[in-house]
Amino acid sequence: MIWLTMVFCGIACFFDLKDREIPDPLCGVTLLSGLFCAALGWLSISWQGSLMGFFVAFLLVIPFALRDGLGGGDLKLLAALGAWLGPWGALSVLCWTALSGMIVALIVAGAGRKDFAYAPAITLGTLIYLVFPQGLAWVAGWG
């Protein structure tokens, strides 16, 4: 079931690269399906964990969105992904996304541009988390 997050991220990438917008309905479907799957027991987190993941991602990302560091679509997508991943998964995805975003920003800056779509960094951060769910613990030497 968790592979659906990559489908949602892929669709977000398509629209972000094409139109520089992540559609609100996509974020809504991502959020509601994460809550629904958690409530039915199809995820490894409870519906409470799903809500906590949403709020953790939202609260940690909103300061960046308010200062125009990220767009509103990026904020909504990350919060919706938190509903699929729970609070610890959301934290991991945010860390991997920040690292991915830094690499993308350096590449874009090297090409002489200042602005770029952030959904690819979110997608890469999510993919890294899904492939290496214990990745942050391993990188820190805890696992």
Domain spans of the chain? Answer: 4-140
44-55 pLDDT, tens digit each: 999 999 999 999
The SS3 assignment for 51 reads: helix
DSSP state letter for 70: S
Q: What percent of the chain has pLDDT over 90?
A: 85
Q: Which tokens is 15 given?
A: 């629209």
pTM reported for the whole predicted model: 0.91
| Average pLDDT of the residues of the chain | 93
- Written as six digits, the tokens of 126 are 């999510």
Place 122 in a pLDDT band, splitting at 50, 70 and 90: very high
Q: What is the pLDDT of residue 134?
A: 79
The pLDDT, as a whole number, for residue 140 is 59
Instruction: Determine the Cα angle at 20 with ends 80 and 125, to 5°.
Output: 45
Give the span between the Cα atoms of 95 and 100, in whole angstroms.
9
What amino acid occupies position 52? M
Distance CA 75, CA 31 (A): 12
pLDDT tier, 141 (very low <50, low <70, confident <90, very high otherwise): low
Candidates 61, 40, 60, 35; CA nearest to 50 is 35
Is residue 102 predicted with pLDDT exceeding 60?
Answer: yes
Is 63 or 140 the better-scoring residue by pLDDT? 63
Let me know how long the chain is.
143
Residue type present at position 68: D
- Tokens (6 digits) for 99: 């690292």
